[in-house]
Each structure stands twice: as C-alpha cells, then as structure tokens.
Structure 1
C-alpha cells in the first residue's frame, strides 16, 4: 500500500509541476484578430457569434463552394486551395463554431444537427440558395451529415479524409490521444505547450518539413483562444454521434479524396465512402491527413474538374 501511495504521490507531483510550468491563460480574440484576420476577412453576427469567414472569387457564381476545416483547425487550412479556385468559382471559407477566431457557440452544443442548422443559417445570411460543401476530417463528417439533413440545398459535396466510420486501428496524433484520455484530458484546458502542437502537426503530414514555426504559432494561438479549449474537450469526450450506417442513404453527387499516408483516419475509409455513396468518384494522393495543405494544386484541380 505504501508503494502505491508513493507512486500516486509522485504522479500528482509531476502533474502539478507540469501544470505550473506549462499552464497559460486563454487569449482574448481581440488579441488574435490583428494576427490572423486579413484584408479578405469578414465577421458575420449569427446565432450569437461573430463568425470569421472569407468570401472570395467570382461574385456572380450561383453555386459557390463552402469549405469546412477539421478539428482544432481554421479557414487557413484552405488558403492555397482557395488561391487557385477563386479564379473560377466563388469560394467561401470559415472558422466553424467552437474554433479559431469564431470561438464558442453560446448554445454550447457541438453535434451534427447543430452544425447543419448553422450551415443553413450561414448560407441564408449570404443569400445562397444552393451550394457545394467541401469538408476535411471533422468538416467532412459535418458535410456528409448535412447531405442527410438538407439534400435539396446541397448540389454536390467533396469529402477529404473525412471522419465518419469506426476507427480501424489508426495511430492518431499525440494531441488527439491525450485529448481522448480521461482525467489527463482535463489538463488540456490549461496546458497547451507548443511542443505538443508541433508533434500533433507532424503526425498529420507525410512531409514533416511542411510544419513551420509560423504554423505551430498559429495553431497554438487559435487553440487557446478564449473558450476554444473547452469546446475541443467537449467534442473529444463525445459530442458527435453520427450514424455512419446512414451514409448509404446519401444521393448527393460526391467526390472522395484521401491521403494514402493518413495516420488519423485510414485511407481504407475512402473505399467505404465510395462503396456506400453510389456513383461517387475518388482519388488518392501520396500525402497525409490534410491533402489540401500538402498538395493544394492537385486538390484544387480535382475539385474544379468535379464541380465545373
């Protein structure tokens, strides 16, 4: 018993030491806007939030693209893809509720029905009747769930390393593992070291040289934006409950993209989506979890060919 008590005591001491060394305050969004908003950034008051978005490209396009990022990410994940596509299409990227500069929803609700309602409201405010959704990872799961929610408004969709099916033994990122570990994950409300951010980013790229100090700084800053850590923890504890068996009901024309070296969501899932969504097309790139960042031109070209 004394040995166990010593071990537990030592563990507590280590946890307290880590907390004291790494703990840092939330950053007010007012501090972050000058750093991460640009001349194309707009802020829409909607559903109790000020949603950060960019509306670029061909203003007369009647079937615009709406781009949805993944977990703990931001609209910046689409920067290079938007650079190519906005020559030909209207391209709208946004920070989803709970993330980046948009921050928490006052409803404190982060499930698929909520995000579907948000997309409806967002598109309506922009006076968009029909659109094409493009989603990566968590954004991909939000996309295919929206296809079930309001198929008449969704002309087409593109799924990029999309979440949805049960895990297939993927190794995952260090950050995701910690965030999914009971008790320890509560520390992430206060402790978000840049070293952890870097390790997590390195696990989502096949080419780790693409992880820059600037990226690490941005991901760290948007992670500790006021309220965002609480949202991330809530999601990791299980606020999303999509029914992957309903994917077979989807009739929306679909294009599936995947990174062959994705460690977070196995490339095997691409075959699952294409089997379940009849008539869907797909392509595999020799990259990791975020093809739009590793091979943006190839992703943009594939999207353009599919939607033109």
Structure 2
C-alpha cells in the first residue's frame, strides 16, 4: 500500500451530539468511502493508531472516542447503553452530512457497530468486526445494585489500578514484545481523569446485554470478522458463533494473535478491509 498521507490540518475534532461532547479524529479524504472506527471497552481511538495510516490514502476515516472513554465527555447524566452509544455514532455522521459509511468495530465496539446497523441499516454499507464481543448478558443484579452504593467509583478505580495497564495489555496481546512505553502511556492516559470512574459506574449500571441470535439474524449488512486464535478476552468460538448468526459474513482467524488485532496484525487487517470494502 502507499505511504500514509501527511495530514496538513489537525484531525482532532469535537462535537456535541445528543447533549454529550464527543472527541473524534477525522482523517478527511473527500470523495472516498468513509470508515468509522469504534474502539472497545477501556480503550479509545488510540487503539487504531497502526491501522489508520495503512488505510489513510484509501478512505475518509473517523475514529471516535466513545463516552466515557478516551477524551470524550465523562457525563454523569448520559445513559450508557449500547443503543444510546450507537445513536451517538449515527448522530455524529448525520452532523457531518455523511450518508453512507462502513463500520470497523473492535471488541465492545463491534457490538455497538451491530446495534447501529440495526437502528439505521441504510446509513451503513458494511461492518468489520475485530474480535467483537458477543452474547454477553447484562451485569449481575448484585453488581448493578452495587453501583448505587456511594464510593463504588473508588472501588472501580482501585480494581483497575491494582492490575495496572501493563497487566491488562499482557492479557490482550499475544506477542508481548509489541508492548512498549508509548503503548502503555497511550492506553493509560484516559484514566488520569478521575471523572471517568464515576461515569464508568453508570456504564456498568446501564449496559444492556449483547445482541442475541435473533437480533443478529436481522443484520443485513455484509460483515467481515477477523479474530485472533489466542484471544483470551473474546475466544474465537464467539467469532464462529457470530459468523453462523450473521446472514452475510466472512470469518478469518489468525494464529499467534491475541485480542488486540488492530495493534498486532494491522497489515493483515488493512488488506482484508480493503478487499472487503472494494
């Protein structure tokens, strides 16, 4: 593929959508198909840092920080359901006057992409699912009850800081030599804002379960599924089940690859996306 295009204007943007301030990066390429990159749980647009340069010459690319993650607003009034997050994506595209786009969702971002495609199928051409979450139920009632207890956010902060970013990265990456200080700093940065833990408390409380088989069978957009065979977060068996439930889908599984496919295999992913979208 061609060398990445050097951005003359900063891609960093912000927009108020449905009362929430969204941070997003827009790598503008007028006249090209639009790709919308949707990150996973505890992540941000940073997770697409290796993939975007490989696709930059070919597509108009939008990478969104889903609230309350990344640099988007840590709202304490927003209802953090997947359906509402999907509506934020749709609202952003409508605000930007984009009438057609393909979705690229990693992990939790895959579920939100699927929800968006069900809410407004005519807006989306195709869906790329990278180790997408699937078939998860809503949090246990005891956990939902716990989110109403004062200082639950402090417990959440303790729980996340106890393991630390490095330990979490070791769990999602198969080739541990890929982990460097830039990667650690990039995934750790959003959690320096203390407000994220209060917002995440609401996220845990509000999150509905993943789409069930009947919902998935209603998805008419063609889907490309790419999975790491060493994924310890969302096993490849989930990808195989999604492949069976989605009416029009292709599945690739990669050896010696973990959950963080956009970081671990960006060249393979970009090549498959290019073939799929074209």
- Identify if the C-alpha distance between structure 1 residues 240 and 94 changes in structure 2 by more than 3 Å, giving closer, same or farther: same
CA deviations on 1:162-186 (whole Å, 9 max, x unpaired) are: 112248xxxxxxxxxxx99x69875
* Aligned residues of 2:221 and 2:248 also touching (Cα < 8 A): no
The root-mean-square deviation of aligned C-alpha atoms, in Å, is 2.4
Shift of 1:48: 2.9
Query: Which whole-Å CA distance do the structure 1 matches of 2:227 and 2:37 have between them?
Result: 16
CA deviations on 1:58-116 (whole Å, 9 max, x unpaired) are: 2222x300000001111011111110111111111111121111132354211122112
Shift of 1:211: 1.8
CA deviations on 1:239-298 (whole Å, 9 max, x unpaired) are: 232331211111111111111111011100111111111231121122111111001111
The 10-residue stretch of structure 1 (75-84 or 50-59) with the greater mean CA deviation from structure 2: 50-59
* Aligned residues of 2:81 and 2:206 also touching (Cα < 8 A): no
Cross-structure match for 1:77: 47
* Aligned residues of 1:65 and 1:90 also touching (Cα < 8 A): yes
Cross-structure match for 2:31: 60
Instruction: For residue 129 of structure 1, give the secondary structure of its aligned residue in structure 2.
Output: coil
Is residue 2:9 matched to residue 1:41?
no
Query: Which whole-Å CA distance do the structure 2 matches of 1:238 and 1:285 have between them?
Result: 33
CA deviations on 1:119-169 (whole Å, 9 max, x unpaired) are: 1110011110111111001100101111211111111101111112248xx
* Aligned residues of 1:72 and 1:232 also touching (Cα < 8 A): no
Higher gyration radius (CA): 1
Shift of 1:238: 5.6
Cross-structure match for 2:108: 138
Is residue 2:230 matched to residue 1:261?
yes
Moved over 4 A (4+): 182-186
Query: Which whole-Å CA distance do the structure 2 matches of 1:289 and 1:162 have between them?
Result: 9
* Aligned residues of 2:135 and 2:210 also touching (Cα < 8 A): no
Instruction: For residue 80 of structure 1, give the secondary structure of its aligned residue in structure 2.
Output: coil
Question: Which consecutive unaligned segments of at least 5 residues does structure 1 have?
Answer: 1-37, 168-178
TM-score, normalization: structure 1? 0.77
Is residue 2:240 matched to residue 1:271?
yes
